[in-house]
């Protein structure tokens, strides 16, 4: 089912562009807000992790340095002084803190030596226990100045799917725009009646009942068959009309079929319309004719 729209192509373009930009603004503002909220939750949870690790070392005075966000999914926890801990203690503290804050269940934790950046210990948690990797959890990490790096794996995946969703939605909007343009057929100037007396075709005024074309103050007389042919072309501007249809409507219904007469009258019409360069009567070889209008 086709719907009729009373908007021009330009208007459709403008409104669709506005809708797309409004949606993009809303989408990215919401994404930024979600990312900001997520980042704050992570920082609070990691600060709690740092606090619990220090308490496990009987240290209630050392400062947990500000949590650094390296990206949307990667964060750094560091300490003012050196400390030591059991890896399985770290695993339990991180899990408890993240569960309390309802953070993603898939993440990777790496314990790095601050000087040199070598990995002293690392493990990976997954919502599927079979994919969880916690090696050497019972080996005590000696006292050192450690940096704990946490990477959330679900955030990376969600970012990819969000981008994919955004691309798909934009594609749907563009297809909808193209469908609107394709569905809506602009009303040709040729079919516009002014006062019910004439039809406008380019710079001409066509008076079918008076058998004439008028341009400015200049009148051009038309024969009855020229009027009939021009009326048919005006009904379907910029569309190919087959020879058989023209002959049937102009000649056969009157009981006379003259094959070459059509070409003759078309030639006469073409000469009378040549004063307007935006109007062309084109011969589509072996098919028919088309009234081309440059709007």
Domains of the chain plus CATH, in order, are 9-158 (no CATH), 189-293 (1.10.10.10)
Closest by alpha carbon to 90, among 143, 39, 154, 140? 140
Closest by alpha carbon to 156, among 106, 110, 119, 112? 106
pLDDT at 10 > cutoff 80: no
pLDDT at 6 > cutoff 60: no
Question: Which helix H or strand E contains 95, and what residues bound it?
Answer: helix 87-100
Cα 81 to chain centroid, rounded: 51
Q: What pTM was estimated for this model as a whole? A: 0.44
CA dist., res. 49 & res. 97, Å (int): 7
pLDDT at 33 > cutoff 60: no
CA dist., res. 232 & res. 191, Å (int): 11
The tens digit of pLDDT for each residue in 112-156 reads 998 888 999 999 998 777 777 787 766 788 889 999 999 998 755
- State residue 68's pLDDT score: 93
Question: Which helix H or strand E contains 105, and what residues bound it?
Answer: none
CA dist., res. 55 & res. 62, Å (int): 10
Residue 123 near residue 135, CB atoms below 8 Å: yes
Closest by alpha carbon to 293, among 203, 184, 228? 203
122 Rama sector, left if φ>0, alpha if ψ -120 to 50, beta otherwise: beta
pLDDT at 186 > cutoff 60: no
Count of other CB atoms within 10 angstroms of residue 2: 9
CA dist., res. 127 & res. 135, Å (int): 17
User: First vs last Cα of the chain: how many Å apart?
Assistant: 27
pLDDT at 194 > cutoff 50: no
CA dist., res. 295 & res. 293, Å (int): 6
């Amino acid at each position: 089912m086709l719907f009729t729209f009373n908007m021009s192509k330009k208007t459709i373009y403008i409104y669709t562009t506005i809708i797309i930009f409004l949606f993009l603004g809303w989408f990215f503002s919401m994404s930024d807000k979600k990312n900001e909220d997520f980042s704050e939750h992570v920082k609070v949870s990691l600060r709690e992790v740092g606090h619990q690790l220090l308490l496990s070392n009987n240290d209630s005075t050392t400062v947990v340095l500000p949590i650094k966000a390296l990206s949307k999914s990667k964060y750094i926890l560091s300490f003012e002084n050196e400390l030591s801990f059991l890896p399985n203690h770290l695993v339990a503290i991180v899990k408890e803190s993240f569960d309390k804050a309802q953070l993603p269940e898939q993440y990777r934790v790496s314990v790095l030596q601050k000087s040199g950046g070598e990995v002293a210990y690392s493990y990976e948690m997954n919502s599927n226990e079979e994919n969880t990797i916690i090696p050497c959890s019972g080996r005590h990490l000696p006292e050192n100045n450690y940096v704990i790096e946490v990477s959330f794996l679900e955030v990376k995946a969600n970012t990819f799917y969000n981008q994919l969703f955004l691309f798909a939605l934009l594609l749907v909007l563009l297809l909808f725009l193209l469908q609107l343009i394709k569905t809506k057929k602009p009303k040709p100037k040729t079919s516009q009646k002014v006062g019910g007396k004439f039809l406008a075709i380019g710079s001409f005024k066509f008076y079918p009942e008076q058998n004439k074309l008028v341009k400015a103050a200049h009148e051009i007389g038309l024969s009855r068959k020229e009027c009939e042919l021009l009326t048919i072309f005006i009904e379907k501007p910029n569309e190919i009309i087959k020879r058989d249809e023209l002959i049937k409507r102009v000649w056969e219904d009157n009981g006379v079929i003259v094959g070459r007469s059509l070409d003759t009258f078309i030639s006469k019409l073409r000469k009378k319309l040549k004063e307007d360069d935006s109007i062309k009567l084109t011969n589509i070889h072996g098919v028919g004719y088309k009234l081309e209008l440059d709007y």
